[in-house]
Amino acid sequence: MHRCNVLAAPLVAVLAALVAVSGCSRAVDSPAAPATGGVAATTAASPAPGAGEPGLEGTGTEPAAPPTTRAKPAPVRYRFPVAGCRAGYGRTHHDYPAADIFSRRGCAFVAPVDGRVDEVARVDRWSPATDRGADRGGRSVSLVGVDGVRYYGSHLEAVAPGVVKGSRVRAGQLLGRIGDSGSASGTPVHLHFGISWPTRPGIWWVRRGIVPPARYLDSWRAGGDLSPVGAVRAARAAAGREVPACRARC
């Protein structure tokens, strides 16, 4: 009995040691518990370049464009159509609205307003035998002003050099010299002056005059700028079309 007990003691100790070593090995080999909240979950997303910075593309916060202001058009300035000479005119005209401005031969007919030359007749084709309406004005110049109104001067002695269809002229610029060409032959020297709306070329019965000019001539001679735009617009509306029928001295 004593010998068995002696042998059993070392055996128990060995078995206990083996059990302890096995437990330590399992503890070391056990995987670590998974971490909670990775980098993606704990790091805030980086803002896009330029986000929140005013004025950068793609942020939706571009500064408003500066307001644009439209310049007011310059006021239209008018000039009396006879320069450098005394001149007189009546309040009415025979057959249709116009003005005969009486002055000396060779006096200057000038542009009453800035504009563009519309039609030019340098040759006097009028004959008393035919008395064609298109020829009665003799030598003449018409222009369409910056105000949209057409101005016509006829019975000229000569048309000024450089005055051609389409050329730009300034108020007060020489257009011709006053005379008695066309149907004014044998009458006192004068400038026939007409105001109308623009038409295609050759519509002489509109070009010669639609609106009475006297009140505008009064203003321009006194240094004023009374405009015929409203009166021409009203006359055009009353006519009902650009080219109404000729009704007097046709």
pLDDT of residue 8: 43
| Residues in contact with 113: Cβ distance below 8 Å, sequence separation at least 6, in sequence order | 76, 77, 78, 79, 143, 145, 146, 147, 149, 151, 171
Distance CA 197, CA 148 (A): 7
With H, G, I as helix, E, B as strand and everything else as coil, classify residue 3: helix
pTM for this predicted structure: 0.72
pLDDT of residue 42: 37
pLDDT of residue 7: 40
pLDDT of residue 70: 75
End-to-end CA distance of the chain: 165
Short-list 183, 123, 110, 122, CA closest to 151: 110
pLDDT of residue 142: 98
pLDDT of residue 63: 57
Distance CA 167, CA 163 (A): 7
Give start and end residues of each alpha helix (H) in 30-77.
39-42
pLDDT of residue 66: 62
Distance CA 243, CA 236 (A): 9
Question: Of 2.70.70.10, 3.40.50.20, 3.30.460.80, 3.40.47.10, which CATH number belongs to 82-238?
Answer: 2.70.70.10
Q: What share of the chain is helix, strand, coil (3-state, %, to 5)?
A: 25, 20, 55
List the chain residues with pLDDT less than 50.
Answer: 1-60
User: What are the sequence ranges of the domains in the chain?
Assistant: 82-238
Distance CA 216, CA 224 (A): 9
Phi, psi of 210 (to 5 degrees): -125, -35
Q: How many CA atoms lie within 13 A of 117 on its CB side?
A: 21
